[in-house]
């Protein structure tokens, strides 16, 4: 597809802000998409919008000077729409009214910035469905998670259900990390599956020294990286630790609910460490022996494109994963177990398989780079406005 250079664009976050993205190292898929927009020669003016925030929190952050600015260059604006309360209302009609107001703020900011018929990409299904965006040339929704399976926002499931219906019926483009999310939305407009990827520069070069906290843990080390929450199968980890007492299991990531892993803290070969920066995370992965995708099997995990699996393979590690649809076909070094409790013999096979050689590791990193992934997203986002309902989207090759 030949895309005209210099399109104006609008990007909106879902429930986190640009400041959140910067603080975590711009490492999640929405953050990476924004980075691509900030550096793409195909994008001219760019409006970046945070979700609604409350007046008190916005004033406090401004007084502290704690909000990072967008990188300098060209016509760019970071917008933070405000209201009295941060949280969305629960009733669908009130949510619809809220996101019509959000649309008004976007439209006014786009006009101030001089954007002309911009292409909009949003990571919030409520924006994609309930903000009219009639001033945009095209609208694209990027789905990283299936919000209808996320129990942490169960009270909003009626709104998400209605949002998915409206996105599916409208001429909204949909890019999602898994086929399961596409199937859930059932879009009639153009759509494409865009799995997660890796940043080649992070994984290049020789193995860095192990972080001090990891160096003191003997081998063999099996590592799980990610937020330690309801997705992690704690009972399965306990069973694996008992079946393979020589295996040192490292759980690396923030624990928003400490009680969730309390039962694991007394197990001698389970080591729980708080989240770290990107360089330290890469160093930790590259100094382990095997990696784990030790999730519970739920509708939420079945719809994920597990970013951690791509990073595990980029680090050269064999992967032991529970059987989830999105992991099939990623790489032959992903070994599958029915559940985390059944992983012990599969971990043995992974340790026997060993680390990938540098040639295979480098090829995987290049083939699964964010640049390649975002070409699909950019082609969909910057599609011609006349691509309408019922027309198939054909990514550029």
Distance CA 181, CA 29 (A): 15
- List the helix and strand counts (H, then E) for the chain: 16, 15
Residue 204 reports pLDDT greater than 60: yes
Q: What is the pLDDT of residue 160?
A: 97
Give residue-wise pLDDT tens across range 234-284.
999 999 999 999 999 999 999 888 889 988 999 999 999 999 989 999 999
Distance CA 268, CA 270 (A): 6
Distance CA 285, CA 266 (A): 24
**Average pLDDT over all residues of the chain:** 91
Residue 4 reports pLDDT greater than 50: no
**For the chain, which residues make up each domain, given as ranges?**
7-197+370-381, 200-367
Distance CA 139, CA 123 (A): 11
What is the gyration radius of the CA atoms in the chain, in angstroms?
Answer: 22
Give residue-wise pLDDT tens across range 89-145.
999 999 999 999 999 999 999 999 999 999 999 999 999 999 999 999 999 999 998
Are both 7-197+370-381 and 200-367 of the same fold? Answer: yes
Whole-Å CA distances, 298 to 175, 302, 336, 340: 22, 6, 16, 13
pTM of the model: 0.81
**Under 8 Å between Cβ of 5 and 41:** yes
Considering the domain 7-197+370-381, what is its CATH architecture?
3-Layer(aba) Sandwich (3.40)
Domain 200-367 CATH class label:
alpha beta
CA angle in degrees (0–180, nearest 5) for 148-152-154: 50
The two tokens of residue 224 are 């799980």
Q: What is the pLDDT of residue 67?
A: 83
**Under 8 Å between Cβ of 314 and 306:** no
Q: What is the pLDDT of residue 5?
A: 55
Q: What is the mean pLDDT of residues 283-289?
A: 98
Q: How many Cα atoms within 13 Å fall on the side-chain side of residue 393?
A: 27
pLDDT band, residue 387 (cuts 50/70/90): very low
Residue 348: which residues within 8 A CB-CB, separation 6 or more? 244
pLDDT band, residue 6 (cuts 50/70/90): confident
Q: What is the mean pLDDT of residues 210-215?
A: 97
Give residue-wise pLDDT tens across range 348-379.
999 999 999 999 999 999 999 988 888 899 99
Q: Is 30 left (phi over 0), alpha (psi -120 to 50) or beta?
A: alpha
Chain position carrying tokens 């043995």: 348
At 48 the three-state DSSP class reads: strand
φ, ψ of residue 274 to 5 degrees: the values are -65, 165
Residue 12 reports pLDDT greater than 70: yes
Lowest mean pLDDT among 35-49, 299-313, 324-338, 358-372: 299-313
Q: What is the pLDDT of residue 394?
A: 52
pLDDT band, residue 325 (cuts 50/70/90): confident
CA-wise closest residue to 150 among 162, 161, 141: 161
Q: How large a percentage of the chain has pLDDT more than 70?
A: 96
Distance CA 279, CA 245 (A): 29
7 strand-pairing partners: 43
């Amino acid at each position: 597809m030949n895309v005209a250079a210099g399109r104006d664009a609008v990007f909106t976050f879902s429930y986190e802000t640009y400041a959140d993205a910067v603080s975590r190292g711009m490492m999640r898929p929405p953050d990476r998409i924004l980075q691509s927009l900030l550096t793409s020669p195909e994008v001219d003016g760019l409006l970046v919008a945070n979700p609604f925030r409350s007046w008190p929190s916005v004033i406090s952050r401004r007084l502290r000077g704690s909000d990072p600015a967008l990188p300098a260059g060209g016509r760019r604006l970071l917008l933070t729409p405000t209201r009295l309360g941060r949280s969305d209302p629960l009733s669908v009609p009130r949510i619809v009214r809220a996101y019509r107001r959000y649309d008004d703020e976007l439209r006014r900011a786009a006009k101030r910035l001089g954007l002309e018929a911009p292409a909009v990409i949003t990571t919030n299904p409520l924006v994609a469905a309930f903000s009219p965006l009639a001033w945009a040339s095209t609208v694209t929704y990027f789905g990283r998670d299936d919000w209808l399976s996320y129990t942490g926002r169960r009270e909003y499931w009626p709104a998400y259900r209605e949002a998915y219906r409206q996105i599916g019926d409208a001429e909204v483009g949909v890019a999602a990390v898994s086929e399961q999310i596409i199937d859930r939305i059932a879009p009639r407009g153009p759509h494409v599956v865009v799995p997660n990827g890796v940043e080649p520069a992070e994984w290049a070069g020789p193995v860095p020294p192990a972080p001090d906290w990891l160096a003191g843990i003997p081998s063999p080390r099996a590592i799980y990286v990610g937020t330690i929450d309801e997705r992690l199968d704690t009972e399965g980890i306990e069973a694996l630790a008992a079946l393979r007492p020589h295996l040192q299991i490292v759980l690396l990531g923030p624990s928003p609910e400490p009680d969730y892993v309390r039962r694991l803290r007394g197990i001698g070969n389970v080591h729980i460490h708080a989240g770290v920066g990107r360089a330290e995370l890469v160093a930790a992965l590259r100094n382990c022996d095997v990696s784990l995708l030790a999730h519970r099997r739920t509708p939420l995990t079945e719809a994920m494109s597990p970013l951690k699996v791509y990073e595990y393979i980029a680090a050269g590690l064999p992967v032991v994963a529970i059987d989830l649809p999105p992991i099939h076909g990623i790489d032959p070094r992903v070994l599958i177990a029915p559940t985390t409790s059944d992983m012990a013999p599969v971990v043995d096979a992974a340790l026997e398989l060993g680390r990938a050689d540098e040639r295979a590791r480098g090829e995987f990193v290049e083939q699964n780079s964010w640049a390649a992934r975002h070409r699909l997203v950019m082609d969909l986002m910057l599609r011609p406005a006349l691509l309408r309902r019922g027309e198939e989207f054909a990514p550029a090759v």
